[in-house]
Each structure stands twice: as C-alpha cells, then as structure tokens.
Structure 1
Amino acid sequence: MENQKSEDTTFEKFTWKIKNFSKLDSRKLYSESFSIDGHTWRILMFPKGNKTGFLSIYLDAGPKDGLPSGWTKFACFKLTLLNQLNHQMTQSKEAEHEFNATENDWGFSSFISLTELLKPGSGYIVNDTCIIEAEIAVTKPKQDQQDNKTPTPKQATQENAKTPTPEMSLTTFGELVDFKDFGKIEKAFVPLLEEVCAQHPSLIVSKKKRSRKFTEWAFTALGRVLHFLKTKKVKDMNDEACQQLQVLWEELETVKFDLTWLQPHVGYALSLKDYVEKDGEVKKMKENVADMKMKMQKLKAELFAAEVDFAIVKRDLVKKGFEERDLDAELGYGGKS
C-alpha cells in the first residue's frame, strides 16, 4: 500500500490480487482491510456480477452495523482492473462519494463484461489471478479544513466569497508536475495540455491574469476531459462512462475557457451511449445467428448420417426379399365390395 498526504487530503493506493479466480463460488468477495485517515476500508467485488452480466467492483467503508451514527467520509477514488498482458487494455473508473452508515459502499455494477473478463487470452485473468487496484483520496472533515483550502473550479469562480461552496471536483491521482508555471498538474495530463495550448493559445492568454490556484484547477479540469477522450474507446461509452464525462464537462465549463473547439468531440462521445447499446444488441443477435447456424450444421450432419443408415438398411432388406407395403391398407377377406 502506498501513502501520500497533503494538507487536507490523504491519498492511498491498495493492490488486491485474487488468486484461483475460476474457483470462486461466493456471490461477493471482500479484500483484506486497509486503513486511510484513521478508518478501515476494503474493496468489494461480485465475481459473477451484481445482478448483471458484468464484473461489479465497489469501495466499501466497512459493515453498516460497525459505523457510528453520524459518521461520514468524503472520498474520491479510482478502481482499476489490470490487464496483465496489455497495459493499454487496463480498465479504470473514477467516482466520488460521501460514505456514511446508510451508503457504506459505492462503485460500479457494470465494470467490465464477464464475457470479456473471462475470455481466454484477454489478459485480465492470468494464471487464474485477477488484480484490482484502488487509488483513494479521503478529505478531512470540513470543520477541520483550513480557510486556505485549494478551491475547486466552481469555487474558484467565487474567489472573493467568504464561505466556500461544498462542491468538490474529482481528485487527481498520480505524480504532479509544474505546467507552464500555472500550477501543479498530473503528469499524464501535461502532454495533452501542451498540445491543445499550442493549437489554441487563447487557453493560456485567458488565464494569465487569474490566481495560481484558479489556473491550476482550470487546467486540471481541462486535462481530465482530454485524458478521458484520449484513453476511452467507443466501446467504453456505456451509461456510467457518459455520466462521468458529463460531470467532467460541466465542471470544465465553469472555468470559462473558449471550448468551442472541444465541444463537438465531447458531444460525439456522449452520443455514443445509444450506439454502444444498439451495437451490443446487434452483436448478441449475430451470436444467436452463429449459434443457430452451428445447430443447423449439426442437424444437417445428423440428417446425412440417418439417410446413409436408411439406405444401407433398405438395401439389405431388399436383398432378403423385403417389399414395401402400404401399412394402412385393409387386410380384406377375398370378397368384393
């Protein structure tokens, strides 16, 4: 487990290796517990899906009956299913949630389809071992935070307000580096930001007169959207992915960049939900057709074998003097009707 702390937030990274995956017979499975900010957490997984045809993964704050009344923890987290053969195929999903005694777990019921997960050679299960990572950022209770807390993009637009608004953007996970002296930005975002700033210089000009905190959050918000569009594939745009992109986009819009160049790409990505669903239906129908064709070929083979057997038996009977007769004909007794 990795640990990193900032003034108001505690970061943790936990890796869970599930061995003998094919032999799991439990409906749901918990990882070993790990501690963040004085509280014990764990990962909850439904290996056969939580009433879906998908692997379901959640962050769990512990049994409900073990949480004191009034207890809450706000956490931003990323759950990752490692592809052990092709890192580019690794699946990650991010969320944020205020955990409490009523809602003690939060995550994704449709993380990855069981068909893709269990497909031989897919890389998600190697040597019958599945690996899940959780990166978690837990914020201190609001009453314990200092007045100089770094604002979110929505808060930054109200920099002169005495009381910050309660919204909190998705926390950045990963190494932070300087970006054009505007602030600390996640390293993975920097090449994407440099590319779009070179193409759209107004992005930099529009933020030169703003505070360092504001520009840091502004470019972080832009980096999140760019990273999402860069790393997601058409097939990934299910309902949860669209909801995530919508949240990121709405947050980015609050920082008042000129985003006319980016809006069509975001709109296209959000429109893919219906396409992906219809594509899934088409693929299912194709699979049904393929199954029917296989059954038909099997029946044809059985028919051919039956015809051969019939021809052989008929030939042998004819050799023995057998003649076909109408079995429905009357026996008669020699009289005339």
Structure 2
Amino acid sequence: MEKENNKDKMFEKFTWTIKDFSKLDSHKLYSEKFSIDDHLWRILIFPKGLKNANYLSIYLEGVENLVEGWNKFINFKLALIDQINHKMTKTGETEHQFNAKSNDWGFARFIPLDELHNPNNGFIVNDTCIIEVEILVSKLKHENEVDKTDNQIKDILTKHTDKPLPKKTFTTVDEVVDLKGLGKIEQDFYPLLEEVCSRHPSLLNSQKKRTLEYVEWAFTALGRVLHFLKTKMVKDMDEDTCNHLQILWEELETFKFDLTWLEPHVQSALSMKTYMERSVQVKKLKENVSSLEMETKMLKEKIIETKVNLEITRRELTKISEGFVEYNLDDGLAYGG
C-alpha cells in the first residue's frame, strides 16, 4: 500500500470515538456515515464477536445506493487506538472490491476480547474506545475520470457497446501486464490468465462487445480467483479464507464468463474448510486412540506382572503353611496342671 503524503495518492482518515463501551448491549454497532473519495462509508463492529467467537470484529462498509452498478476497489486500514501507548495501536490493512453484492470487508478476528478489555492495555480508557479507518485515495487523472459519476460505472458494468475490442496480445510492463486494448492487469495474474485464455478462448470472445473498463475489471476478477487457487494451501483454508474466496467467486460470476471449467476447483477449495475441521477432529481422535492403546498395553503388562506375583505368593504361602498350627491370638497362655 502507498504511504501517506504521496503526491498521487494519500490516506484520508475518519475517527470514531465510542463512549460508554462497557454498556453496549447490541450485537453490532455502526459509526455515523462519512464521505471519502466521493463515496459514503461507515465502520461496523461486533463488540462481542461473531458467532460467539472471543474476538472484536471490525469492518468497513460502503453505504451507497447499492445498485447493481456501484463498484469501488480500495485499499484501506483499520486501527484500534491504544490511548496509553500509541505505538501499541492495533492495525490491520487490506483491500477489497466493494459493490452491491459485497459492500463490507474487514477482520472477523481483529483482537481477542480479553486483550481488548485488559486494563493494562490502552484500548479502552475511561470506558471509551477509539477506532480509525484510513482509505487510500488516488489523485491520478485517469482514476478521477473513471470515478466521476456512478452512472458511468453502471454503464460499464451493465451495458454492451457496439465498439469491438481490438485484437489482444499479452505483454509484460514493469509490475503490471498490459492486455492491449483491455487495460492493465497485475503481473502476478499474467501467466495464469495467459494459460486459461489459451485453453478457453471463449473467455476473450465473451468480452468483445464490452467496454475497456469492464473487460479490465473482468479479467482482474478472474486473475484474483486464479491467483488465490494457485497460491493457497489446504492448511490455509480456515473460515475467513473461505469467506474471502466465496466473495471473489461471487464477484467473478457477475462478469458472465463461462466458468463451468473453473467452478469445480473453486467448490473443492471451499470444501477444504469442512475438511480442515474434520482433519483436526481426526488428528485429535487418533492421538486419543494412540494414548489409550498405550495405556491399555501398560495395563495388560501390569496384569501379567500381578498374576505372576500372585502365583509366587501362593506357592510361598503353601510352603510356609506346612506343619503350621494357628492359634487364637486372644487366648490366654496356659501353665501348670
């Protein structure tokens, strides 16, 4: 992410001060609406966590009219301010393509609740909590032109044009890939897009009557899903990661590609969450079985040892009991006649 005070890009910040934090009884809480980069936003928190998880959850939410054409890709960071030691402020940076179907993004497990409420930390002082969001705003002329009006974006996303796209060739330029006539795509997506487009020419053909901006977003969305599947491991597929993939997939579906070849791979990746959960259970049960088997083995050996000792003791008892007359120990000792 670009840092503050860059001549082309800068962070714009909104600060939300929440008083009487301990008295909050709602499951979720919204900040007031605020405008950054000509868009309306608000912060959403779950003070008691999601689904009984012991974490504070924080999200940024777009609050446009949420019509089909609303679309905004942004980089942003959320911060929970440490009011005692600012250097200990908790921050999280991320990026997301906000649209009508996916209008919020953030962190389900931003900070453990016990750490949040720990009086030794400075996250809650005088029963007041402070949360900030900083959104990266581009000042580049091209980006300003693209974002001038929502109507332009609606047309890009929902309408066809009569102007066909020029013939496309893939060439690498610095940190982006220029799909000539289609716009710039991240370099990491280049080999993946090149491979799937050679295997599935319909991907290119399906976009011939779309605007240049639409096609750029479409192939960026496809590149994100492909890059996700290429770089993630089975062990990475926890709940948050699966939710992220689901959002990327739903965004990609809006661009009307023929994705019958890709959907099985996505669904398989999404099923990894269930697999990972069962894998943890299986591992734990295997460890329990191994422990019980070891305990059983030790008990069997102990039983064998005890039986041997019992037999030895019986033999010793038989031997020493020969010719032995037992007396009542409470009888008196007789003497005289």
* TM-score of the pair, normalised by structure 2: 0.48
* TM-score of the pair, normalised by structure 1: 0.48
